[in-house]
Amino acid sequence: MVFLCALCGEKPLFSCAILSLMAQTPEKTFYIETFGCQMNVHDSEKVIGTLLAQGYRQVESVQEAGLILYNTCSIRDKAEQKVFHRLADFKKMAEQGKKFGVLGCVAQQEGEKIFERAPHVSMVCGSASYRNLPEMLVRIEAGKQRVTGLDDRETDECFETEFTSRSNPYRGYITIIEGCDKFCAFCVVPYTRGKERSRTSASVLEETRRMADAGYTEIQLLGQNVNSYRDPSGRKSFAELLAAVGEVAGIRRVRFTTSHPRDFGRDIVQAIEAVPALCDQVHLPVQSGSTRVLGLMQRLYTREQYLERIAWMKAARRPISISTDIIVGFPGENQEDFQQTLSLLDEVGYDSVFSFKYSPRPNTPALKFIDHIPDQEKSRRLTVLQERQKQIQSGRNQKQVGEVLEVMVEGRNPARAQWIGRTSQNKVLNFTAGGGDELAAGNYVKVRVTQAFPNSLVGELAADGGQQGVSHFLNSQSQEIAF
Ligand code: SAM
Ligand code: SF4
């Protein structure tokens, strides 16, 4: 009997052209480093999936890779500089035939100028052009020296792909809206990520169902402003989409970030009250506690309007934990404005705050304002704010001592002999569990809080936590993860 090649029908080892071509073609490998926010992390998951589908293999170091990609962030100057440092560090490797690509916000912002500053870069691609990556990769493979994807900021299309490569098997991101049309005076996002565009609710729900079938139990909906979501099919508001995602069978937790105060409706709080799977958590960036500064920032709301939204959440039947972003030292912010930001911290009682010194960004309206606040004074305000918030968080966490909370197990800290859990309110709760041999990442268990710190809680597995809480519907993939 003669065996024929399944690819070409010829006798193998003698005349199969396809096999011999495959043997000659060097393996395509890539390394990717991601800077910045969750949007960038998830964009990279989609870029990785796209490359894998194109026949590339992901490797863990620049040394092993043929193609080196940096998915960049330009929200603040420091973030932007990181990529140029990396490109300088590995410049010599271009002589070995390695190709370099810059993706994301710095790529969109700096465009072809990157080729001048780092001539060893072959590809520059903004996030609005990721759909074109397969075709751009083919051009690079064919030896093209400079390939760009920079012209899609006006697109109505989102980057949807079935090839997303998620590394966490039980908690996953889903982008529901891309870009931003708000044009806050300090922010580069509308210039780097392009105009606001939403996915259809049907497509978001389809992806949720696929993830639930694959064993995911926690979904995090992503967008620069998720609550500015406009279903292109006109079927669902953001709150309705949120509720529908939370009702997909198998989904146990749903988070969403970031929400813009201007578009934050009461219906979002009502959805959280009505749908158990929606987490007790809202991230609502305020940026400043002074209405005057909010006006200069072009944030489209006042301190009072912001506080009204906080009041809706505080009146909810569930204990919603609230976090925010704050910028200190925005041009024109005086001591009185800063005091108002501090008093807002006291009034709201945030569970966490991400705070930043104002960083002037290219193309933004605030560049025209006189940035008269010395860097030393910005640093001082940042320290004062962070100290105040630390005390607030300590106090709030202390009140939770004695509570029994459900956590999703994220892993184990062997040095401390503790499991690492996350509560519905998005707080880290490290806990002991006796032997705890039956626990694994992705499980849900009940934990009694015994101690509180400003940034985390400590506890022990509740008496019934191991039996009742351990999720019985997780698939084997989630159960098998060992730390
Ligand atoms: N869309 C969200 C909103 O409107 O609140 C914010 C998204 S932005 C990517 C994340 C955070 O970065 C902002 O909330 C802001 O606090 C901070 N940020 C943006 N531009 C900044 C700048 N020029 N300087 C300092 N921080 C900045
Ligand atoms: Fe930037 Fe403002 Fe858009 Fe948020 S809403 S991404 S801060 S422009």
pLDDT in tens, 32-51: 999 999 999 999 999 999 99
Question: Residue 3 class from Cβ within 10 Å (0-12 exposed, 13-18 middle, 19+ buried)?
Answer: exposed
Per-residue model confidence as pLDDT tens digits over 209-218: 999 999 999 9
How sure is the predictor about 371, in pLDDT bands with cuts at 50, 70 and 90?
A: confident
% of the chain with per-residue pLDDT over 90: 82
Given a cut of 60, is residue 477 above it in pLDDT?
no
Given a cut of 90, is residue 67 above it in pLDDT?
yes
Calculate how far, in angstroms, residue 285's C-alpha sits from the geometric centre of ligand 2: 10
Per-residue model confidence as pLDDT tens digits over 339-367: 999 999 999 999 999 999 999 999 999 99
Instruction: Find where tokens 């075709």 sit.
Output: 135
Phi/psi at 73 (5° precision): -130, 140
Given a cut of 70, is residue 478 above it in pLDDT?
no
Nearest-atom index, ligand 2, CA of 188: 1
Given a cut of 80, is residue 472 above it in pLDDT?
no
The Cα–Cα gap between 376 and 82 comes to 22
Question: Residue 349 class from Cβ within 10 Å (0-12 exposed, 13-18 middle, 19+ buried)?
Answer: middle
The Cα–Cα gap between 283 and 255 comes to 9
Which ligand places an atom closest to the C-alpha of 323? 1
The protein residue whose alpha carbon is closest to atom 5 in ligand 2 is: 182
| Sequence-separated (6 or more) residues with CB below 8 Å from residue 149 | 123, 124, 125, 126, 129, 130, 132, 133, 136
Ligand 1 pocket test, candidate residues 41, 42, 75, 293, most atoms within 8 A of CB? 75
The Cα–Cα gap between 243 and 448 comes to 29
Quote the pLDDT of residue 91.
87
Average model confidence (pLDDT) for the chain?
A: 90
How sure is the predictor about 11, in pLDDT bands with cuts at 50, 70 and 90?
A: very low
315: its two tokens? 């009146």
The average pLDDT across 299-323 equals: 98
Strand, helix or coil at 46? helix
Sign of CA dihedral 327, 331, 332, 335: positive
* Among the listed residues 194, 158, 162, the one whose alpha carbon sits nearest the alpha carbon of residue 179: 194
Quote the pLDDT of residue 3.
40
Given a cut of 90, is residue 258 above it in pLDDT?
yes
How sure is the predictor about 24, in pLDDT bands with cuts at 50, 70 and 90?
A: low
Given a cut of 70, is residue 308 above it in pLDDT?
yes
0.75 cut: is pTM over it? Answer: yes
Kindly list the protein residues whose Cβ atom lies closer than 6 A to any atom of ligand 2.
180, 182-184, 187, 189-190, 224-225, 260
Ligand 2 pocket test, candidate residues 183, 286, 293, 298, most atoms within 8 A of CB? 183
Which ligand places an atom closest to the C-alpha of 78? 1
Given a cut of 70, is residue 261 above it in pLDDT?
yes
Quote the pLDDT of residue 4.
43
Helices (H), 297-334: 303-314
Calculate how far, in angstroms, residue 474's C-alpha sits from the geometric centre of ligand 1: 36
The Cα–Cα gap between 93 and 62 comes to 9
Quote the pLDDT of residue 194.
93
The string of DSSP letters for 212-274 reads: HHTT--EEEEE-TTGGG---TTS---HHHHHHHHHTSTT--EEEEE---GGG--HHHHHHHHH
How sure is the predictor about 400, in pLDDT bands with cuts at 50, 70 and 90?
A: very high
Given a cut of 50, is residue 102 above it in pLDDT?
yes
Given a cut of 50, is residue 253 above it in pLDDT?
yes
